[in-house]
Structure 1
Amino acid sequence: MSTDFTQEQESFATAVAAFCAREAGTREQRDALAEHGQHTHNQGLYDKMAELGWLGATIPEEYGGADGSVVDMCILLEQAAKGMAPIGGIGPTLITGAAYEKFGTASQKGAVLGGIVAGKSYSISMSEPEAGSDVGNLSCKAEKTEGGWLINGQKTWCSNAHFADRILLVARTGRSVAGGVTRQERGEGKHEGLTMFDVPADIDGLNIVGIGTMGGKEVNDLYFSDCLLPEDSVVGVEGQGWAQLMTGLNIERLILAAMMLGTAQRAFDDTLEFITQRKQFGRPVGTFQALRHRVADLATEIECGRLLVYHVARLVDENPTKLFPREASMAKLKLTETAKKVALEGMQMMGGYGYATEFDMEKHVRTTLVSSIYGGTNEIQRDIIGKTYGL
């Protein structure tokens, strides 16, 4: 494996891997931490990582962080996912924190970025029943009123809102009107008039309702009913929410790619261990050419994905204000597809044992299946990549 890590980064990767092995290395430990897979996040374990300073790896020093690189962030996420540490809050938290760091007020930055270092979790809410991949179609409304903003509407698929401290809400604050018809109704300018808001998760007027999924308690519907936010709840500039969202795509897609890189490697390792030990017809099943060639292909795909993730991470570190829509989308697309392939192939090679809940492979499958949907579906990633070639 060639990743050109510094000595410090190699030590960091080793330390995270050792921590996960110690704290969540057995099935019994993980079942206890995650209530047999029903929860994706264990706050006690997350607090331990906060105490070690890892959650603030990329947070500026002025907020208590280590002011590390995007490469450092990817190392943490890869190793935590590979170690199957139930810290499901970390991805959405880092995605949300990046937006506050770029656009938040001094007060918002202090609360949120300092909170990340201390072990708090955050969530970002964009999707609605009629606005998934088409985020610009959202209709959850924020109306300016005396003393603040009144929020009404429904959001959906909001990851981790049920244990988040704050939610970064994207809502509509305006529509362009001409001749009595909005530009949005004519299919124009639908990304205009979107604004980001800082929302305490326990605020009056917000009802958080979990959505049952294959992965357990992960996502939620949010119902806003005359939810009054203070006037200073706007994050960034009113009406510029879409442009602000676009600046965070590098980090969001790298976060998802790095986590799936770790999951792919763990699924591969679990498969390799099983087919090395499992015997049929008097020999380990992994020695049969049909499986040996599959393993070779999967190992090659994972290594290609690893090189891509850290290449894009270094590009972002070297050009922090530049967008990399093609490269970031490629990373998200490649690693989520690779992780899904590795898990499904692993299940096939393990046979019935891969399907049994006694083993972790069925969880790898469930985890990776949704990865090609969240954070922008892989169909959308392919569309973005295609557009960068002028298509």
Structure 2
Amino acid sequence: MAMDLSDEQRAFTAALAEFARRAAGTREQRGPSPHNQDLYQRMADLGWLGVAIPEEHGGAGGGMVDMCLFLEQLGHGMIPAGGFATSAIVAGAVERFGTDAQKKTVLGGTAGGRVYSIAMSEPGAGSDVAALSCRATAAPDGGYVVEGQKTWCSNAHIADAILLVARTGGSPGDHDGLTMFLVPAGAQGLRVSGIDTMGGREVNDLYFTGCRLPADAVVGQAGAGWKQLMAGLNLERLILAALMLGTARRAFDDTLAYIRERKQFGRPIGSFQVMRHRIADLATEIECCRLLVYDTAEKVDRDPGRVLPRESSMVKLKTTEVARETALAGMQMMGGYGYATEYDMEKHVRATLISTVYGGTSEIQRDIIGKTYGL
């Protein structure tokens, strides 16, 4: 670990690990969906979903290190809490820019087991956020009317509300003129349509047709959506990195257990040098990721208002790519069993492959890192 944990933090991670073992230790317990609301609500009742929510909104008041500890255990324990990452990101945006009423709803809702989603990408705009064209037009009553389509919206089908980034001014290509809105999932004029993926039902298309929003649906300042998005980079990328750190550790542990037991040519396959060296390389890479995750999290806790574009991109890039390589190596070392649905390795592969795409692709992260060096 990059830092010394307090007794409270050690007890917290131990409790999470035990919960994962008892409540989510089998496929039957976890269920087929990436998000099991019954298990999710049990964690909410234990106070865990509010790990980084301020106490006045029903949370524990923890920092980014506490959040990463929680996410790492979610990934390692394979706890089907797929709705947490997007909920935490939305809660972070609302905490920074929302009204008191919005904070009460979203922060309290996150701590209480509600799920929230984000609608940013569009069919013609993914990595290029400035190209967004979904438009919210000001209405005579002070509200807005939204027209357009969003895509790849994680958890929109199970969300209570959706954080929409839409254009209220300018034209596609402008960073100015973007605005955040909090849209109830059941809003008239909004249609949610699932997208089939390797991971099942996780993401959705959203279609806005004459969707009317009141003036108080705006989160923060109208037209300042781009600056508000940039302020959330630390949180978003650390969330994804910590989750994949846990998944990488789990893929590694599953591989190690297998090669210790599996015998070929009269001895465990883990005793062959080629396997030992591969395990050594993976273990070293995972430890590097863990140090990077918690070092960055500590920096955020020391100065929560400081945006860390280089560090947050580095941690997202490194951890997701190591997680992917760990899962693929695990599948290779397990042979046919790594491909079979009887084992969890194929799930690790699916989860880690997409992690290098969502939240900013590896290519985008490398470009951002390069720019921080003046290139």
Structure 2 length normalisation: TM-score?
A: 0.98
CA offsets 1:276-315 (integer angstroms, 9 cap, x no match):
0000000000000011100000000000100100000000
SS state of the match for residue 203, structure 2? Answer: strand
Is 2:344 aligned against 1:360?
yes
Q: What is the alpha-carbon distance in structure 2 between the residues aligned to residue 116 and residue 217 of structure 1?
A: 21
- The residue that corresponds to 2:18 in the other structure is 18
Please give the per-residue CA displacement for 1:179-198, whole angstroms capped at 9, x wherever unaligned. Answer: xxx6x5xx5xx101000001
* Whole-Å separation in 1 of the counterparts to 2:351 and 2:3: 25
**Runs of 4 or more consecutive aligned structure 1 residues displaced over 3 Å after TM superposition:** none
Q: Is the 8 A contact 2:2 2:295 kept in 1?
A: no
Shift of 1:2: 5.7
2:151 to 153, 156, 164: 156
**2:252 corresponds to 1:307:** no
- Percent of aligned pairs with the same amino acid: 65
User: Aligned pair 1:262/2:246, yes or no?
Assistant: yes
SS in 1 for 2:146: strand
Residue identity in the other structure for 1:342 = T
1:192 counterpart = 2:186? no
Can you list the C-alpha shifts for 1:9-58, whole angstroms capped at 9, x where unaligned? 1111111111011101123322xx2x2xxx21011000000000001111
* Residue from 165, 168, 179 that aligns with 2:160: 165
- 1:231, distance to aligned residue in structure 2 (A): 1.4
Q: Secondary structure at the match of 1:158?
A: coil
- Residues 160 and 185 in structure 2, CA contact (< 8 A), matched pair in contact too: yes
Shift of residue 69, structure 1, vs aligned partner: 1.1
**Rounded Cα–Cα distance in structure 2 between residues aligned with 1:376 and 1:342:** 20
Q: Which residue of 1 aligns with 2:44?
A: 50
2:9 counterpart of 1:9: yes
Letter in 2 for 1:125: A
Give the conservation status (yes or no) of the 8 Å contact 2:2–2:294.
no
Q: 1:178 maps to what in 2?
A: none
Is 1:294 the counterpart of 2:278 in the alignment? yes
Query: Which stretch of structure 1 is more off in the superposition, 141-150 or 297-306?
Result: 141-150
1:138 corresponds, among 132, 135, 140, to: 132
Tell me what 1:101 maps to: 95
The alignment yields a C-alpha RMSD, in angstroms, of 0.9
Q: Please give the alpha-carbon distance, in whole angstroms, between the structure 1 residues aligned to 2:105 and 2:227.
A: 23
What is the match of residue 78 of structure 2?
84
- Residues in 2 aligned to 1:228 and 1:243: alpha-carbon distance in whole angstroms: 25
* Partner Cα distance (1:116, 1:339) in 2: 27
1:125 aligns with 2:109: no
Indicate the SS of the match to 1:198.
strand
Residue deviations 1:333-355 (CA, integer Å, cap 9, x gap): 01000000000000000001001
1:217 paired residue number: 201
| SS across alignment from 1:19 | helix
Rounded Cα–Cα distance in structure 2 between residues aligned with 1:387 and 1:196: 26
Any idea what the Cα deviations from partners look like across 1:342-371, whole Å, max 9, x if unmatched? 000000000010011110000000000000
Whether 1:27 and 2:22 are equivalent positions in the alignment is: no
1:389 and 2:363 correspond: no
Aligned equivalents of 1:238, 1:27: Cα separation in 2:
45
Q: What does the per-residue CA deviation read over 1:184-243, in whole Å, with 9 as the maximum and x for residues that have no partner? A: 5xx5xx101000001001111000000000000000000000000011110000000000
Question: Residues of 1 paired with 2:129 and 2:194: CA distance?
Answer: 21
CA-CA distance at 1:7 after TM superposition:
1.3
SS of 1:159's partner is coil
1:237-269 Cα offsets, whole Å, 9 max, x none, are 000000000000000000000000000000000
Q: Deviations over 1:104-128 (max 9, x none)?
A: 0111011100101110000111000
Q: Is the 8 A contact 2:24 2:79 kept in 1?
A: yes
Corresponding residue for residue 64 of structure 2: 70
Equivalent pairs counted in the alignment come to: 374
User: 1:207 aligned to 2:201?
Assistant: no
Q: Distance in 1 between matches of 2:13 and 2:58?
A: 21
Hey, what's the Cα distance between the residues in 2 that align with 1:3 and 1:212?
41
Alignment check: 8 A CA contact 2:262 2:269 kept = yes
Aligned position for 1:179:
none
